Amino acid sequence: MKRLPLVVLSLMLVCAAAIAGQNSNSSKTSSAATANANKPKRGPVFRATADQIKQAQALLKQRSFYSGEEVGKLTAETRAGLKLYQNAEGLKVTGTLNKATLEKMGIALTDKQKTM
- Structural domain boundaries in the chain: 50-108
pLDDT band of residue 98 (cuts 50, 70, 90) is very high
Percent of the chain with pLDDT over 70: 78
pLDDT band of residue 77 (cuts 50, 70, 90) is very high
Among residues 52, 43, 49, which one has the least CA distance to residue 115? 43
What does the mean pLDDT of the chain come to?
A: 84
Given a cut of 80, whether residue 11 has pLDDT beyond it is: no
Given a cut of 60, whether residue 32 has pLDDT beyond it is: no
Q: Is the dihedral of CA 116, 92, 50, 109 positive or negative?
A: positive
More confident residue, 7 or 54: 54
Spatial distance between the Cα atoms of 98 and 101, rounded to a whole number of angstroms: 5
In sequence order, what are the residues at sequence separation of 6 or more whose Cβ sits closer than 8 angstroms to the Cβ of residue 88? 63, 65
The pLDDT of residue 29 is: 53
pTM of the model as a whole: 0.64
